[in-house]
C-alpha cells in the first residue's frame, strides 16, 4: 500500500492529488504511511554507512565503531517522525496570517504528500554515487509538489501564495537545521565521552 501510494504520488501527481485529498484518511493511517518510509530510509542509510565505514577501515587499517552511525540515524528518524506532529501545526498557524485556514489535518496530508519523493530519495540514498542524486531530486520534487498544492490544501489566496510558501519553507528549513545541530551535538558528545572513557573512542 505504501509503495503503491508513493509511486502514484511521484509518477501520477495530477491524478493522484485529487484522489488523495478526497480520501477520508484518518491521522493514524497517514502517520503509518509516513513513518514506514522514514524508517526504511534511515535503516538503509545506516546499513550503507556501515558498509562504507567497513570498507574505509579495511583500507586505512583502523576500525571505526558503527555505533556512531546507528545512533545518529536513530535520533534523526525519531526527530523526522516528530516533524509529522510539528510541521502541520506550523503550516496551519502561518496560514492564518496569509488568509488561509488553520487545518492541521489538511496540513498533515500536504506535508506527507510533498515529503513522499524526499523520503523515497532517502531510501535510495544508500546506493553509491547515484544515491545522493536520487535524494537531491526527491527533495526538489517535494518542494515542487508543496508549491503546486499548498494553496488548495491550506486555502491560501493566489496573491499571497508566494509569501506563504517562502515563509513556510524558511521555517521548516530553520527547524531542520536546528535539529541537525542537535543530533550532531548529541552524537558528538557520545563519541567524546566514549573516547574519554575508553582512551580510544569508538575506535578498536
DSSP 123-141: HHTTSTTHHHHHHHHHHHH
pLDDT tens-digit map of 105-154: 999 999 999 999 999 988 887 776 777 888 889 999 999 999 999 988 99
Query: Residue 199 is placed in which grid cell?
Result: 582512551
More confident residue, 64 or 26: 26
Q: Is the pLDDT of residue 183 over 90?
A: no
- 155 contacts 23 by C-beta, under 8 angstroms: no
Residue 151 to residue 132: CA distance in whole angstroms: 30
Q: Which three cell numbers stand for residue 12?
A: 501520477
Neighbours of 127 (CB within 10 A): 14
Confidence of residue 44 (pLDDT cuts 50, 70, 90): confident
3-state secondary structure of 98: coil
Tell me which residue of 107, 147, 142 sits closest to 122, measured CA to CA: 142
Q: Return the DSSP state at 159.
A: G
In three-state secondary structure terms, 64 is: strand
Of the given ranges (77-81, 118-122, 173-177), which has the lowest mean pLDDT? 173-177
Closest CA to 126 of 40, 35, 49, 39: 49
pTM of the model: 0.82
Going by pLDDT thresholds of 50, 70 and 90, the confidence category of residue 79 is confident
Amino acid at each position: 500500500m505504501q509503495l503503491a501510494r508513493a509511486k502514484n504520488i511521484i509518477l501520477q501527481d495530477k491524478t493522484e492529488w485529487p484522489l488523495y485529498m478526497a480520501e477520508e484518511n484518518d491521522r493514524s493511517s497517514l502517520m503509518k504511511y509516513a513513518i514506514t518510509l522514514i524508517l526504511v530510509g534511515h535503516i538503509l542509510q545506516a546499513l550503507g554507512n556501515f558498509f562504507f565505514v567497513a570498507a574505509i577501515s579495511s583500507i586505512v587499517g583502523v576500525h571505526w565503531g558503527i555505533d556512531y552511525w546507528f545512533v545518529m540515524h536513530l535520533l534523526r528518524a525519531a526527530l523526522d517522525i516528530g516533524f509529522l506532529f510539528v510541521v502541520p501545526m506550523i503550516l496551519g498557524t502561518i496560514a492564518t496570517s496569509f488568509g488561509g485556514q488553520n487545518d492541521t489535518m489538511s496540513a498533515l496530508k500536504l506535508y506527507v504528500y510533498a515529503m513522499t519523493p524526499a523520503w523515497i530519495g532517502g531510501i535510495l540514498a544508500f546506493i553509491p554515487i547515484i544515491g545522493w542524486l536520487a535524494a537531491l531530486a526527491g527533495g526538489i520534487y517535494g518542494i515542487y509538489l508543496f508549491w503546486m498544492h499548498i494553496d488548495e490544501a491550506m486555502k491560501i489566496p493566489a496573491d499571497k501564495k508566494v509569501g506563504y510558501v517562502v515563509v513556510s519553507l524558511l521555517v521548516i528549513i530553520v527547524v531542520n537545521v536546528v535539529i541537525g545541530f542537535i543530533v550532531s551535538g548529541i552524537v558528538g558528545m557520545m563519541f567524546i565521552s566514549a573516547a574519554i572513557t575508553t582512551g580510544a573512542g569508538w575506535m578498536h
